[in-house]
Structure 1
Amino acid sequence: MIKRLLAVCLACFLAAPLFAAEAPDALIRRVSEEVLEIVRQDKDIRNGDIQKISALVDAKVLPYFNFQRMTSLAVGRDWRSANPAQKNRLAEEFKNLLVRTYSNALSSYSNQRIVFKPFKMKSGETEVLVRSEVTQPGSQPVQIDYWLEQSGDNWKVFDVVVAGISLVTNYREQFANEVRAGGIDGLIASLAAKNKSLEVAAAAKNGKK
């Protein structure tokens, strides 16, 4: 359930251009409305065309997320022991994991609607929380919050919290165990293997259609 809702979250950033100096809540609201409308109208996405979904995510989601910071938060204190090359590999593999995981789940979209909570931002703030709620007929609403940081004139997401569960901290214990077992390189290898497994599964799923 959480993966499906996070898929909707990531979908909300698939197809909108960047606008300078756009407020963080306005950014998320606008992109959410635009992209969910695309999903509603795109039969291929609703039918689970993973190749098409992945291409859209790769092309459009990246400008709105700070994957380097997301990865550092997910890896936690072990991030400090990684060298620059390892940090780049970790960020790349973690990005691929998120993109592939939620591309696979995106086809589960079914008439969700996003309601945004009142937003307040103090002058000079560079990190803000945008709160929203996903509603779906026959289900209890689920709160989804976006943490954003200012990057130049724009805002980027560095964490998503679904029903009180942080995306980045949700991975922290798993990543810590991987580092204890095989060091930073072991974590990189584990992420790469998981991504390969998701890639093979997606290819097999598309081949059956």
Structure 2
Amino acid sequence: MNRLSAALLLSVPMAIVAPYAAAAQHPAQSQVQQNIDTILKIARNASLSEAQKIKQIESYADRYLDYERISAMAVGAPWKNFSAKQKTDFTAAFKDMIISMYAHSALVGAADAQVKILPNKMTANGNRFDVFSELQTKSGSKYEVAYQLYKSGSVYKIYNFRVDGASLVTIYRNQFSELIKQKGIDGAIAAVKSKSLKKQ
């Protein structure tokens, strides 16, 4: 399991947890725990096909993931040059690409992964929060995953996550930068739609 698959395994939409962890102390931690518990029920439901699981997880995750902010951070500085339609198109394509590339491996890893939230390691900076958890795979490998969230109304929106310090939004940034230089914004969007980027 590579780092991004591990991240997807831990994040919404692919968050998996061991039997219920210690009660979270902060509302952001409580929500992440709730997200994990809900996704766990879907991911380990033997009556559902893989496609059904992915569809249900995606529908649930739409409430908690800020896909446009994730996309903007992954693109970086060139994002300011995107039109409103280009931003919408890129966000949809990036979301679809990530799900297509990593959903299967994340679900396969769900059966044996164990996860615990680290309640004493949370950080806060104004309206931004980092909630930490630890994933252990069947082989014994451990990953620390930090969910980065901000408060939006009654929920906390996830806009990034890091696996052992490696950030999702920076994983593809160099590829996006090079694509935009070579093909322009529309060409980059087309490449993401065709899922022709390298799997990280």
Q: Tell me the TM-score normalised to structure 2 length.
A: 0.82
**Structure 2 portions without partners, runs of 5+:** 17-25
**What do the CA deviations read for 1:9-57 (whole angstroms, capped 9, x no partner)?**
23229xxxxxxxx811111112213422442342655xxx2x2233113
Give the length in aligned residue pairs. Answer: 183
In structure 2, the partner of 1:40 is 44
In structure 1, the partner of 2:27 is 23
Query: Which runs of structure 2 are paired with 1:1-209 in the superposition (5 Å)?
Result: 1=1, 2-9=3-10, 10-12=13-15, 23-42=27-46, 44=48, 49=50, 51-109=51-109, 110-117=111-118, 118-120=120-122, 125-194=126-195
**Structure 1 consecutive aligned stretches of length 4 or more whose deviation exceeds 3 Å:** 119-122
Q: CA deviation at 1:127?
A: 0.7
In structure 1, the partner of 2:23 is none
SS in 2 for 1:64: coil
Q: Tell me the TM-score normalised to structure 1 length.
A: 0.78
Q: CA deviation at 1:85?
A: 1.1
Q: CA deviation at 1:133?
A: 0.5
Residue identity matched to 2:37: E
Task: Give the conservation status (yes or no) of the 8 Å contact 2:4–2:168.
Answer: no
**What do the CA deviations read for 1:100-146 (whole angstroms, capped 9, x no partner)?**
22322233223211111115455x82111001100134322111110
Task: Give the conservation status (yes or no) of the 8 Å contact 1:54–1:100.
Answer: no
Give the share of equivalent positions with the same residue, in percent. Answer: 22
Q: CA deviation at 1:6?
A: 2.4
User: In 2 relative to 1, CA 8–43 (structure 1 residues): closer, same or farther, beyond 3 Å?
Assistant: farther
Root mean square deviation of aligned Cα: 2.3
